[in-house]
Amino acid sequence: MRTQVAIVGSGPAGLLLGQLLHKAGIDNVIVDRASKAHILGRVRAGVLEDGMARQLTAVGAGGRMAAEALVHDGVWLAFMGRRFRLDLKAHTGKSVLIYGQTEVTHDLMDARERAGLMTIYSAENVRPHDFDGESPSVTYDTDGIEKRIDCAFIAGCDGQHGVCRKSLPEGATTVFERVYPFGWLGLLADVPPVSEELVYANHDRGFALCSMRSRARSRYYIQCRTDERVEDWSDDAFWDELRRRLPPDAAESVTTGPSFEKSIAPLRSFVIEPVRFGRLFLAGDAGHIVPPTGAKGLNLAASDVHYLAEAFGEYYADGSEEGLRAYSEKALGRAWKAVRFSWWMTNLLHRFPDAAPFERRMQETELAYLSQSERAAAAMAENYVGLPY
């Protein structure tokens, strides 16, 4: 098989890149090791910046989002039994959209199918080859038979455990990493959310987040230890712990019900530099991971592929390699700011097992400052709604 850009990974990064390239008349094939059902079964992000929303609309995959997404003009921060509202709209003129990553993926897959573009699911042993030369390729196995896609470029959109980053030669890259000493236990239930807008809570017992997918479906998270097991958390235990960590007025209005998804995610920050090696370009979680506290991971995938599609577009329109050369610096320039913001929000809101009383006071003081200073609130709001690209 031959294509212009072989995309490894059919998550939001790979799917959105595929649509952007198609719009620019650039041929592409996506290959993913997982099945379509498996990909659509993943429950992850829920907050979209307007940059991502604009791109979905631009590629013709924004129809359902426009009809179903909830527009949020603010978020709540809770601490010491109180809460205050961060007015995103007043500070930035922008809002965020509540629309699940599962839905984004669904809509992008539908758009891809409508456009008749090729996706190979359930591919085994996917490997990128010869990307340091002029003729790269991607191979994979189906039913024990090896297949090859010859291409001009490879886009590694294969997430944090993907094969593309691992294929880069040792010594060609630098890794920056922070592993946090806790995880998030998440729960989905078809119950109305506790509040119209998200609530991020810092509590002595640990962080809690009240999010949602719709007016009838809630998504809640509580900070947990990394060695805890989902099986050890009954729904009742989860609801009790969540209520303990929320301010009393919020705790009282939590509607409980049976969960239909529960999972634990570890938290870490990770960046690899550069995100380009020869004709292989990394985008999304393949190049950087952020803890979910700032709701940035999915949105970073969108800005990466925006820059990457622009670079491929320039190359195919007039042969210029300028955009390709600038890609790594541009994408990482924006990603690092989201890495910083996510790290800052994580530090601000979680209970660190070894935190001294001094550090707890610093968190409380920073939250108090945010609630009292327009300028501090504006800086947080600017980052939360997403820096421009």
Q: How long, in residues, is the chain?
A: 389
Q: Which does 293 bind (CB under 5 to 8 A by kind): ligand RFL, ligand PHB, none?
A: ligand PHB
**What span, in angstroms and rounded, lies between the C-alpha atoms of 96 and 50?**
6
**Do 288 and 271 form a contact (C-beta atoms < 8 A)?**
yes
Minimal distance, residue 233 CB to ligand PHB, in Å: 17
Find the binding residues for ligand RFL in span 66-105 (CB under 6 A): 101
Q: DSSP string covering 149-162, please? A: EE-SEEEE---TT-
Among 5, 29, 32, 238, binds ligand RFL (CB under 6 A): 32
**What span, in angstroms and rounded, lies between the C-alpha atoms of 371 and 363?**
12
CB burial readout 94-107, b (16+ within 10 A) else e: bbbbbbbbbbbbbb
Find the binding residues for ligand PHB in span 278-307 (CB under 6 A): 292-293, 295
**What span, in angstroms and rounded, lies between the C-alpha atoms of 19 and 362?**
45
**Neighbour tally for 255: CB within 10 Å:** 12
Find the binding residues for ligand PHB in span 182-211 (CB under 6 A): 198, 211
**What span, in angstroms and rounded, lies between the C-alpha atoms of 373 and 208?**
24
338 is an interface residue for ligand RFL by CB under 6 A: no
158 is an interface residue for ligand RFL by CB under 6 A: yes
Among 6, 26, 31, 47, binds ligand PHB (CB under 6 A): 47
Minimal distance, residue 326 CB to ligand PHB, in Å: 30
Q: Which does 12 bind (CB under 5 to 8 A by kind): ligand RFL, ligand PHB, none?
A: ligand RFL
Would residue 292 show up in a list of annotated catalytic residues for this protein? yes
Q: Could you tell me which stretch among 41-49, 198-206, 230-238, 360-368 binds ligand RFL (CB under 6 A)?
A: 41-49
342 is an interface residue for ligand PHB by CB under 6 A: no
* Antiparallel, parallel or unpaired: β 124-129 and 118-120: unpaired
* Antiparallel, parallel or unpaired: β 118-120 and 28-31: parallel
The closest alpha carbon to 85, from 101, 97, 73, belongs to 73
12 is an interface residue for ligand PHB by CB under 6 A: no
Q: Which residues contact 100 (CB under 8 A, 6 or more apart)?
A: 43, 44, 45, 46, 213
Among 12, 14, 18, 46, binds ligand PHB (CB under 6 A): 46
Nearest residue to ligand PHB, scored by beta-carbon proximity: 46
295 is an interface residue for ligand RFL by CB under 6 A: yes
Minimal distance, residue 286 CB to ligand PHB, in Å: 20
Would residue 36 show up in a list of annotated catalytic residues for this protein? no
**What span, in angstroms and rounded, lies between the C-alpha atoms of 102 and 376?**
33
Which residues are at the interface with ligand RFL (CB under 6 A)? Answer: 8-14, 32-34, 39, 44-47, 101, 126, 157-159, 161-163, 184, 186, 265, 284-285, 292, 295-299, 301
Q: Which residues bind ligand PHB (CB under 6 A)?
A: 45-47, 198, 211, 219, 292-293, 295
Catalytic residue numbers, as ranges: 72, 200, 292, 296, 384
